[in-house]
Chains A and B, each alone.
Chain A
């Protein structure tokens, strides 16, 4: 069963990630009173991009994209998606925290060799934004790990199944609210779409990508969304006993994130960081203090 999940988890992440990309375009279109492209449009785009010729700026330009996507797939292997995580006993959530940064770092290295200032500005913004949401995010995950006394995602899920979901239990409800407040920033959607701002810095890190590069970067974007949402479902909403329920829970969280996306204009990067370090951090901090003082 465990062996099966090694193949199943990445495939599910790929499918759901692409589905979310399509759904988000559709979703936005409907809010803006348009018809929008079909749901499978991202898949068509990716297949087309694979056949298109592109430019390469050097070996690191290629390797960085590959590293970024590969690390995102490995993160998925640490995630229980309504079953057991294939790589559950190899360092736990602390490894996931690190692997989650390899995705942007791979793109950053690849984009660095592209020698394009638009790319570098985008990366600088991405790193600043990440520093912004990591403050509340780390407080949230530390509150969870301290509360449940474990560093394993699987055990956090199991503990929630025995009692209530984290978001419905007393001190952790603060962490849950804070996570919802930073979710759009983690997914990189408006109002936090500062990294790939198409009108300002020609899509930032993706400025030099075309063909297969763009395809991989798009898949990576889909996986990032998948990981951000599935982390919420696992850590705060008690995971699920089978993949279907898990997917449905993800869909609810996704809808919330994109409703915000449709309703707000883009912030500047320091406005974004200022927001992230104010309300979400305050709420996450209260949650962490309560967990550290009251505990279970």
Chain B
């Protein structure tokens, strides 16, 4: 299977989808699903291969190269699977919306561009695909117009700054080594001076950090994620921003190399420690901002920023356990966050676009399956044992503790407790409590939505009970970076300093549940009652008013609100304000009237003549 064919199918499929949309919507939908499935199959068939295919000779004397190895395969499979599930989910979600052909075409284009990014074998192709990805993402974020356009603009401007930094890095590297292929650059880097390597890391770090939305480059993410169409939010949050993680991994461990990376620094301040601390900040601040969000998707978006912090913390801490944990958390986050965005999408679809956490409630009665998958997704997000998120976080915590970094471990653990607060609020305010009267006849989510959500929730549990399956893949990537192998077993990790055994936990959990269930059933049977039949101190339960969801954590908010301003975002907005003021000032000069311009020329000439007459400098 050639890599070129894969990209041709992916990109061509996107274009063809748009054209087919002109013929028939049904054919277009079927074709989009088929293409995305075909891409999944083609990527899956690349498993375990290491290829290098030049696809264009002689661009400025350099070949453009595609390649695949363990690292790029992992990201490629996640991107293609999520892309496919998102297309299936869109079938229901986009029904009756405008410009659907454009939407599907862009969705497939984003997936194709992501595949291009991870399959690039040189920095120039990487940059080209990176730009295609950024542009098509902008078009999808601003698909809904209005506030979505503003969110898209914010994304685009920040992403553009990142791209410029990356371009500067690419040009510098080309000037130094004359090649942009990863292997060639890596060979050159091994003999470069530490200051040079650090400068390259920072330049690319800005690009990858902006895409991955780590603090302080996170400001674009919350509005973009909440305004984008939900199936695309799933892709955006699940895998697209993780292209930044891919970039970091590539840069740190493939191009710079493990030894050099860990020894870099200015004086006693190590670069990788600084990056870990940024990761820790990225966990803490957004978690607490997420607790007080009222928009379901904005809550999830802030949570995405926070979870990206775990990934950055894991990979930059630089031990075999932490890097494996970081990569595994990338995979897990892709699964459960895509699932949760789809849950919001399904709710939005049935409630005609309501995602305000203050006005929903009780939907467990109308959407039971959606609720179950939501609980599974939330458990993964918190990292409840026997879900996938637990294993990846466990790896990170363990290595932080054993390597004597208790403060970073504190940030990671405390972030998890914050996660519980916003996750429960998310579940409670949408699905629990009293069902409002207006939703009493609501239907369940359609099959095309339930299918992708169910698949993802099965993966959450599967990777939690048998983490050895993905960890085996991740371990080989880690070994290729130069780390020690982890001794992966199907149910966890064998180790002298604290083993992990998920099967023991599963058995204990099952036995515990069965025993307690039997005790519970041995008691008197209960009578099933409706939601109006609850305790109200003797008064009748008032309809639609007997609900506690608005300002769910009010006491905490009263305490913390003064400290939780997103200073970084206010700084950017002020910067944008200044730039706009500058633009307004300029516009006063560039009025667009020819007469004014003629006047400027005359005034300028007059000044020149005056200067010549007065001081005769020329």
Chain A interface residues (CB < 8 Å from chain B): 49-58, 60, 62, 65-67, 69-71, 73-74, 77, 87, 89-92, 94-95, 97-99, 101-102, 105, 108-109, 112-118, 120-121, 123-125, 127-128, 130-131, 134-135, 138-139, 142-143, 145-146, 149-152, 202, 207-208, 211-213, 215-216, 268-270, 273-274, 288, 291-292, 295
Q: Are A151 and B398 in contact (CB under 8 A)?
A: yes
A residues less than 8 Å from B520 (CB atoms)? 62, 65-66, 212, 216
Docked Cα-Cα span, A152 to B500, in Å, equals 11
Q: Are B534 and A114 in contact (CB under 8 A)?
A: yes
Q: Are B546 and A117 in contact (CB under 8 A)?
A: yes
Closest residue of A by beta carbon distance from B362:
A115
Closest residue of A by beta carbon distance from B372:
A60
Q: Are B556 and A273 in contact (CB under 8 A)?
A: yes
Q: Which of B227-235, B416-424, B442-450 forms part of the interface with chain A?
A: B416-424
Docked Cα-Cα span, A56 to B526, in Å, equals 6
B375 on interface, CB distance cutoff 8 Å: yes
Docked Cα-Cα span, A268 to B421, in Å, equals 19
Task: Assess A54 versus B433: contact at CB under 8 Å? Given A91-B498, A131-B418, A270-B556.
Answer: no
Q: Are B529 and A56 in contact (CB under 8 A)?
A: yes
B397 on interface, CB distance cutoff 8 Å: yes
Given contacts A70-B517, A94-B398, 17 further A-B contacts (CB under 8 A): A54-B527, A58-B528, A62-B520, A70-B513, A74-B509, A87-B504, A90-B504, A98-B383, A115-B434, A115-B534, A116-B546, A127-B421, A146-B404, A151-B401, A202-B537, A211-B523, A273-B559
Q: Are A116 and B500 in contact (CB under 8 A)?
A: no
Docked Cα-Cα span, A120 to B433, in Å, equals 8
Q: Are B498 and A139 in contact (CB under 8 A)?
A: no
Q: Which of B503-532 contact A (CB under 8 A)?
A: 504-505, 508-509, 512-513, 515-517, 519-520, 522-529, 531
B residues less than 8 Å from A73 (CB atoms)? 512, 515-516
Give the number of A-B contacts (CB < 8 Å).
Answer: 225
Docked Cα-Cα span, A212 to B421, in Å, equals 28
Task: Assess A77 versus B428: contact at CB under 8 Å? Given A124-B552, A211-B526.
Answer: no
Of the candidates A115, A124, A142, the one whose C-beta lies within 8 Å of that of B531 is: A115
- We find that the number of chain B residues with CB closer than 8 angstroms to chain A is 76
Docked Cα-Cα span, A91 to B498, in Å, equals 6
Q: Are A131 and B559 in contact (CB under 8 A)?
A: no
Of the candidates B390, B414, B420, B513, the one whose C-beta lies within 8 Å of that of A67 is: B513
Closest residue of B by beta carbon distance from A277:
B559
B residues less than 8 Å from A92 (CB atoms)? 498
Q: Are B407 and A118 in contact (CB under 8 A)?
A: no
Q: Which of B391-424 contact A (CB under 8 A)?
A: 394, 397-398, 401-402, 404, 406-407, 409-410, 413-414, 417-418, 420-421, 424
Of the candidates B402, B420, B548, B559, the one whose C-beta lies within 8 Å of that of A127 is: B420
B140 on interface, CB distance cutoff 8 Å: no
Q: Are A131 and B527 in contact (CB under 8 A)?
A: no
Task: Assess A66 versus B534: contact at CB under 8 Å? Given A74-B508, A91-B385, A112-B428.
Answer: no
Q: Are A89 and B362 in contact (CB under 8 A)?
A: no
| Binary flags per residue of B368-384, CB closer than 8 Å to A gives 1, else 0 | 00000001000000111
Task: Assess A71 versus B410: contact at CB under 8 Å? Given A128-B553, A211-B524.
Answer: no
Task: Assess A77 versus B508: contact at CB under 8 Å? Given A58-B528, A112-B432.
Answer: yes
Task: Assess A120 versus B549: contact at CB under 8 Å? Given A95-B385, A115-B434.
Answer: yes
B residues less than 8 Å from A127 (CB atoms)? 420-421, 424, 553
Q: Are B427 and A112 in contact (CB under 8 A)?
A: yes
B437 on interface, CB distance cutoff 8 Å: no
B499 on interface, CB distance cutoff 8 Å: yes
A residues less than 8 Å from B548 (CB atoms)? 117, 120-121, 124
- Separation in Å of the B523 CB from the closest CB of chain A? 3
Q: Which of B469-500 contact A (CB under 8 A)?
A: 492, 497-500
Q: Are A52 and B556 in contact (CB under 8 A)?
A: no
B residues less than 8 Å from A274 (CB atoms)? 559
- Separation in Å of the B414 CB from the closest CB of chain A? 6
Q: Are B413 and A97 in contact (CB under 8 A)?
A: yes
Q: Are A131 and B421 in contact (CB under 8 A)?
A: yes
B residues less than 8 Å from A71 (CB atoms)? 509, 512
B residues less than 8 Å from A139 (CB atoms)? 406, 410
B618 on interface, CB distance cutoff 8 Å: no
Closest residue of B by beta carbon distance from A133:
B417
A selection of 16 A-B contacts at a CB cut-off of 8 Å is A53-B527, A89-B499, A91-B500, A94-B394, A95-B505, A112-B428, A114-B534, A115-B433, A115-B534, A115-B546, A120-B552, A124-B553, A125-B555, A138-B413, A151-B402, A269-B555
A residues less than 8 Å from B417 (CB atoms)? 101, 130-131, 134, 138
Docked Cα-Cα span, A215 to B414, in Å, equals 32
> Which 6 pairs of residues, A with B, have the shortest CB-CB distance?
A112-B432, A212-B523, A117-B548, A70-B512, A50-B523, A120-B548
Docked Cα-Cα span, A127 to B329, in Å, equals 25
Closest residue of B by beta carbon distance from A273:
B559
Q: Are A50 and B402 in contact (CB under 8 A)?
A: no
Task: Assess A150 versus B497: contact at CB under 8 Å? Given A95-B505, A98-B383.
Answer: yes
B residues less than 8 Å from A291 (CB atoms)? 406
Of the candidates B401, B505, B524, B537, the one whose C-beta lies within 8 Å of that of A146 is: B401
Q: Are B516 and A50 in contact (CB under 8 A)?
A: no
A residues less than 8 Å from B499 (CB atoms)? 89-91
Q: Are A52 and B524 in contact (CB under 8 A)?
A: yes
Q: Are A120 and B516 in contact (CB under 8 A)?
A: no
Task: Assess A149 versus B402: contact at CB under 8 Å? Given A58-B364, A115-B434.
Answer: yes
Task: Assess A212 versus B556: contact at CB under 8 Å? Given A127-B424, A151-B398.
Answer: no
Q: Are B526 and A116 in contact (CB under 8 A)?
A: no
B501 on interface, CB distance cutoff 8 Å: yes
Of the candidates B394, B404, B433, B554, the one whose C-beta lies within 8 Å of that of A112 is: B433
Q: Are A143 and B509 in contact (CB under 8 A)?
A: no
A residues less than 8 Å from B523 (CB atoms)? 49-51, 211-212, 215
Q: Are B535 and A202 in contact (CB under 8 A)?
A: yes
Closest residue of B by beta carbon distance from A268:
B555
Q: Are A128 and B406 in contact (CB under 8 A)?
A: no
B547 on interface, CB distance cutoff 8 Å: yes
Closest residue of A by beta carbon distance from B500:
A91
Docked Cα-Cα span, A116 to B504, in Å, equals 37
Closest residue of B by beta carbon distance from A212:
B523
Of the candidates B384, B410, B509, B526, the one whose C-beta lies within 8 Å of that of A55 is: B526
B533 on interface, CB distance cutoff 8 Å: yes
- Separation in Å of the A271 CB from the closest CB of chain B? 9
A residues less than 8 Å from B401 (CB atoms)? 142, 145-146, 151
- Separation in Å of the B268 CB from the closest CB of chain A? 15
B residues less than 8 Å from A134 (CB atoms)? 414, 417
Q: Are A57 and B500 in contact (CB under 8 A)?
A: no
Closest residue of A by beta carbon distance from B423:
A105
B residues less than 8 Å from A70 (CB atoms)? 509, 512-513, 515-517
Q: Are A113 and B522 in contact (CB under 8 A)?
A: no
Task: Assess A138 versus B410: contact at CB under 8 Å? Given A50-B522, A105-B420, A123-B424.
Answer: yes
- Separation in Å of the A182 CB from the closest CB of chain B? 14
B588 on interface, CB distance cutoff 8 Å: no
B558 on interface, CB distance cutoff 8 Å: yes
B residues less than 8 Å from A74 (CB atoms)? 505, 508-509, 512
Docked Cα-Cα span, A213 to B421, in Å, equals 24
Docked Cα-Cα span, A173 to B375, in Å, equals 40
Q: Are B529 and A292 in contact (CB under 8 A)?
A: no
Docked Cα-Cα span, A202 to B538, in Å, equals 12
Q: Are B517 and A109 in contact (CB under 8 A)?
A: no
B residues less than 8 Å from A292 (CB atoms)? 404, 406-407
Most buried by A among B406, B505, B519, B524: B406
- Separation in Å of the A98 CB from the closest CB of chain B? 5
Docked Cα-Cα span, A50 to B505, in Å, equals 29
- Separation in Å of the A99 CB from the closest CB of chain B? 6
Docked Cα-Cα span, A251 to B365, in Å, equals 45
Closest residue of A by beta carbon distance from B395:
A94
Q: Are B531 and A57 in contact (CB under 8 A)?
A: yes
A residues less than 8 Å from B547 (CB atoms)? 115, 117, 120
Q: Are A120 and B508 in contact (CB under 8 A)?
A: no
